Structure 1
């Protein structure tokens, strides 16, 4: 079977539109996931017994179920429980928020617990409260150590958006499927889809490596 480059060039504008939506979903989802993850991670690292166990239940529940099941529950099952209509893109963003939040919670917990206790003691010795010590001493150091796994989580979230094809989100993979339905050039179209994903993830990896190098701590 001959590879038709013309099929790739004609599909590229549509695929780039899908790539824009893929990035948008991943960025919004990761921003929300960062908030959820930091709160849950701090609850696990320094919270009381109740908050720590609530966070643990959330983390284990989300990490123990596939993301495709989570998005289908949010899109199909949740509207049956509460009288609200959820759009596909909204369901996708919320799913990425919740899913990435569970993993970022463990990233946060590990980063906070990796900071030597001497930093906390020094902050308290300088007259800072426990909250101020956490905010001005511990978290700036922890956030630097969180950068590499956060970059990995972003890349994972970008690839996870391909699963939202099951609810009809017009992201990159869905656009590829729609193109194949029209031109029947599966080899060329899926190759183009794979290359677009690869370009996005490699560009993100390069940026994160540069950022990690600039903000590296011992």
Structure 2
């Protein structure tokens, strides 16, 4: 058995990561040594901050909305369940790029028109100025679109995780006198997190990649900076190779970090259950 475990450990060694790290180091040396690649990198890397901000803001908002939708889908109210189901099924059926255009060029003007209609008396009294469509930045329109799109998928992840918790434990927590919020915080979420984390992390990595869609609105992310440089220099191979390289650095680093966190949670699963029971007492 010891030999078998050693063989399995050797087979599970991340050789792919070793190869990928070698390639990443080779590309880094090329960027440092080649003036053209260094120039492309210096331009494209300016969009990293926007990409990270759009991803974090969109995913945090999508997570909050997705959790709310999951709780609505699991509530005792038929109306709330139907509203959540309608939202989830409709939004998941719309391509992200179409949703991005719709929010940016249909939703934003409609929101501005509705706001101006509601505040018209204040505007006429000189207490408030009318809102213009250009006052809503394209970056925030993109973040709202990503929030709406990803919230539907995250809602299903949250719902599956919550439903994976044994009903008997929830009933036991209720018998101990815990409030609904305490049951959710101390019993349900610690156990659901182990089920939620893998697909949750996958969606986070996917949003890093899908954030490149904001470039169609002119938002200066990594992809947009690459498009601007390539259109002016016609160095398409060098530019998009660097763009792909930066995205790979971001996504692979995130995947490794999330995989380690998942492994740690799996190893501490039994300890987490005992801690939750001690907290209830």
TM-align CA RMSD: 1.8
Structure having greater relative contact order (Cα 8 Å, sep ≥ 6): 1
Q: Return the match for 2:233 from 170, 173, 183.
A: 183
Matched, 1:110 2:163: no
| Gaps in structure 1 of 5+ consecutive residues | none
Question: For the Cα contact (< 8 Å) 2:173–2:183, is it kept in 1?
Answer: yes
Cα shift readout 1:21-79 (whole Å, capped 9, x = no counterpart) = 11110100000001000010111123421111111111111110011111111111123
d(CA) in 2 for partners of 1:109, 1:145:
10
Provide the secondary structure at the position in 2 that maps to 1:65: coil
Match of 1:60 in 2: 89
Matched, 1:149 2:178: no
TM-score by length of 1: 0.93
d(CA) in 2 for partners of 1:46, 1:109:
11
The structure number with the bigger radius of gyration is 2
Match of 1:38 in 2: 67
Evaluate the alpha carbon distance shift between residue 182 and residue 26 of structure 1 in structure 2; reply closer, same or farther with a 3 A threshold.
same
Match of 1:70 in 2: 99
- Count of equivalent residues: 216
d(CA) in 2 for partners of 1:28, 1:13:
25
d(CA) in 2 for partners of 1:47, 1:68:
35
Matched, 1:138 2:158: no
| Gaps in structure 2 of 5+ consecutive residues | 1-29, 113-131, 271-281
Cα shift readout 1:184-212 (whole Å, capped 9, x = no counterpart) = 11011111111111110000001101111
- Runs ≥4 residues deviating over 6 A: none
